[in-house]
Structure 1
Amino acid sequence: MILMLCGTSDARELALHLSRQGLPVQASVVTPSAAERLEAAGISARTGRLDMQAMISLLQEGGYRAVVDGSHPFALEAHANAIGAAAALGLPYFRYERQSLIYDSHPRLILADSYEAAARRAKELKGPVMLTTGGKTLEIFAEALLGDPDIRLTVRLLPCVENMEKCLALGIEQRNIIALQGPFSREMNEALYRQYDTKVMITKESGAEGSVDEKLQAALDMGLYVIMIVRPGMSFGDDGTVFDSFDELTAAVQAALRNSR
């Protein structure tokens, strides 16, 4: 059995691809809705975050033979836990990550190497800011931007109880919360930018299969500033390889399983 961390839409497609090649896959996801989508497609899924010790216990008890890490490029803690758990048990570890896009230079596209740097740039630019980086690092932006009379912070995030409670605890007013599940079309992005009179949009680089393209291009075409947090510069995998091809990763997993018999 292979344990696969699924944190993106294309990671879920990879889980299906592995299963179609005859590889037994158990997916690990954070939310019940993600688990439901996988199970509807025939992939067994467990729900909830795992620290390293919990992952080691799960791998031991389930008799897993490999770990495939398809979590989000920014989920550094999940990556570290998966790498550490696999290493502790001597299991092969494989990292899948969608290809990074190459963005042309644009006078209103600002690249930031951290959430903190993105918050600082937004504070300098002023005006209505739409934050689309999720709830996990919300406090960084709330601390930097809330209370500035020249900034209106609107947050767009998943409509889960945890996010709503966090927004209210940080002092983000309900009128400035957009609780919706994507992906969003270009037209939807444009409508939201207009509705909230957005001048600055903050996003994360997620890659070719994510919705960042529509979000980013619509914003730039409308004359918004876009602050994009670039991916952490890290390598994963037993040999430092990050796979961006379903077929290549599948072949590597199959070879590792054959060699471990």
Structure 2
Amino acid sequence: MKKLVIFAGTTEGRRLSEILADAGIAHTVCVATEYGEIVMREQTESTKAMQTAGQPIVNLHCGRMDREQMQKFLHDEGYEIVVDATHPYARVVTENLRGAVDTLKSLEKDAHFPIYLRLERKIDGITEADGIVTNVQYFENNADCAKALENTEGNILLTTGSKELAVYCASGRLKDRLHVRILPGRESLELCMEQGIKGRQILALQGPFSTEMNAAILRQYDIRHMVTKNSGRAGGCQEKLEAAKMLGIPVYVIEPAQKTSDAAGNIPGTDSYSFAGICGKLGQLCDCKISQQGSLEICLAGIGMGSRDCMTKEVQQTIETADILLGAERMIADYSARIEKKPYYMAAQILPYLEKLQESEELAQQETLRVAVLFSGDTGFYSGCRKLYVELQEAIAAGQLRGSVRILPGISSVVSLAARVGESYED
């Protein structure tokens, strides 16, 4: 088995480590910060019992490294495969890691050692056609964004992390207006303190954040401008945009350099791969099958009489946390989903869609996808829910779909009618 290391710090990096562990492939995960180590250690607790030749299947290495330190680390440990799963905006880290590998290749007699693979996050462009964006400005860098903000008034929510904080704090017109959302790690907090950011300006929170959570923060801190990176769906960009649209708040987006990828998400002629692509490549290199198969958690939810006030809290929570939202167009119009929503409510539409979805890049990147299908009224009273439930169960039993299905009932129209006219309905 080839010796493998992942430079992580992203959800994709953590998910890749999980998949490799499940396949019995021993590897090391490198994280830059103490907080990153804590998050990874929580995930790897379940793999402690899994060992290869008496050694833990997942090892952790914590600490920032420059190019020379990376080169020494890779050489001393004898890694043959290096996976770069760092954040798409961590360009310096990627440049250093590529440089370290290239230097080692030039020094080693075997030109194939080590192999560098870049896990490239899929980042969709933000367009008006998405039905989300109404007031967005784009910037190539944080300095240009900070300059534009100097001509505005009101509180600013900065969601670009702590590393770029100094750019915004350099301006006296911005510093006191900032509310900074950062990871709850020591390094991030120390950077805030170094820049003179007061405690009341710091929101030390770990995501993911729903649209509702983002909107609540915008309201609580009277935010008038929001700054974000376009870090794709995995980075929670869509939920930020939707919350800003709800409240009519302008968004300032730092855009990464766009790269042209093929249908699978791989970038031709480079060492960059989509999540599914990198799993396939690692399977070839390690001469074993790597299963990315996640599962679908399907919920058929009754939304009652149609308004939010008539829904059960359980159904509301299901809608708010859904990755995929399906249902008649009028039912899903007022809600958002983390990945997408489709006006599908019949089995003939939903089954082919779910079969295709379970082979998608989105499901490969996470263990489960939460799918909510909305139905009006009570799911057990003349509802299309029953037929769909039976067909989904049959598809799961036949192996066409991987996952589970359950029903959450809404308030029945009969119950509501009886209550409004003051009658009981037991007769």
Q: Is the 8 A contact 2:226 2:250 kept in 1?
A: yes
C-alpha change, 1:98 and 1:16, in structure 2 (3 Å) is same
- For 1:108-127, what aligned pairs fall within 5 Å after superposition? 108-127=135-154
Equivalent residue, structure 1, for 2:82: 67
Return the letter of the residue paired with 2:122: Q
Check the 8 A contact 2:230/2:237 in 1, yes or no: yes
Gaps of 5+ in 1: none
Could you tell me which of 93, 97, 117 is aligned with 1:82?
Answer: 97
Alpha-carbon separation, structure 1, partners of 2:69 and 2:186: 24
TM-superposed CA distance for 1:156, in Å, is 1.0
What are the Cα deviations for residues 144-192 of structure 1, in whole angstroms up to 9, with x where unaligned?
Answer: 3x3459x711111122233223223322222111111222122211111
Return the match for 2:273 from 243, 251, 254.
Answer: 243
Q: Which runs of 5+ in 2 are unaligned?
A: 48-57, 106-113, 261-265, 288-427
Kindly indicate whether the alpha-carbon contact (under 8 Å) linking 2:116 and 2:271 is maintained by their aligned counterparts in 1: no
1:220 to 245, 251, 275: 245
| Corresponding position of 2:120 | 97
1:16 Cα deviation from its structure 2 partner: 1.9
Is 1:4 the equivalent of 2:3? no
Letter in 2 for 1:225: P
Q: Partners of 2:241 and 2:160 in 1: how far apart? A: 13
**CA contact 1:65–1:257 (8 Å) conserved in 2:** no
Output the CA distance in 2 between the equivalents of 1:2 and 1:204. Answer: 30
Residues in 2 aligned to 1:245 and 1:163: alpha-carbon distance in whole angstroms: 28
The answer on whether the counterparts of 1:92 and 1:238 sit within 8 Å (CA) in structure 2 is no
Instruction: Indicate the residue corresponding to 1:230 in structure 2.
Output: 255
The counterpart of 2:39, out of the listed 34, 38, 53, is 34
Q: Does the CA-based 8 Å contact 1:71-1:79 persist in structure 2?
A: yes
Letter in 2 for 1:120: K
* CA displacement 1:105-163 (0-9 Å, x = unmatched): 3441111111111112222233211101111110001113x3459x7111111222332
The one-letter amino acid of 2:248's match is G
Q: In 2, distance between residues paired with 1:169 and 1:14?
A: 34
Alpha-carbon distance in structure 1 between the residues aligned to 2:200 and 2:121: 34
Give 1:204's aligned residue: 229
CA contact 1:38–1:45 (8 Å) conserved in 2: no
Q: Which moved more, 1:196-205 or 1:208-217?
A: 208-217
Greater RCO (CA < 8 Å, at least 6 residues apart): 1
- Give the one of 242, 248, 253 matched to 2:282: 253
CA contact 1:157–1:163 (8 Å) conserved in 2? yes
* Paired positions, count: 255
Moved more, 248-257 or 232-241: 232-241
SS in structure 2 of the partner of residue 183 of structure 1? coil
The counterpart of 1:157, out of the listed 165, 182, 198, is 182
Alpha-carbon distance in structure 2 between the residues aligned to 1:193 and 1:95: 35
Residues of 2 paired with 1:71 and 1:22: CA distance? 23
CA distance in 2, matches of 1:115, 1:156: 16
Compare CA radii of gyration and give the structure with the larger one.
2
Question: Matches of 1:177 and 1:207 in 2, distance apart?
Answer: 24
Deviating more after overlay: 124-133 vs 191-200? 124-133
Percent identity, aligned pairs only, is 31
Residue 209 of structure 1 aligns to a residue whose secondary structure is helix
2:160 and 2:229 in contact (8 A); partners too: yes
Q: Which moved more, 1:99-108 or 1:7-16?
A: 99-108
State the Cα distance separating 1:256 from its structure 2 match: 4.4
Q: CA deviation at 1:233?
A: 4.4
Q: Is the 8 A contact 1:98 1:208 kept in 2?
A: no
Q: Secondary structure at the match of 1:162?
A: helix
Of stretches 232-241 and 197-206 in structure 1, the one that deviates more from structure 2 is: 232-241
Alpha-carbon distance in structure 2 between the residues aligned to 1:61 and 1:237? 31
Correspondent of 1:188 among 207, 213, 220: 213
- Cα distance in 2 for partners of 1:228, 1:95 equals 24
Distance 1:215 1:193 in 2: 10
Distance in 2 separating the partners of 1:23 and 1:239: 27
Residue of structure 2 aligned with 1:15, choices 8, 13, 17: 17
Provide the secondary structure at the position in 2 that maps to 1:125: coil
In structure 2, C-alpha distance between the alignment counterparts of 1:233 and 1:84, rounded to whole Å? 21
d(CA) in 2 for partners of 1:78 and 1:86? 12
Deviates more, 1:2-11 or 1:40-49: 40-49
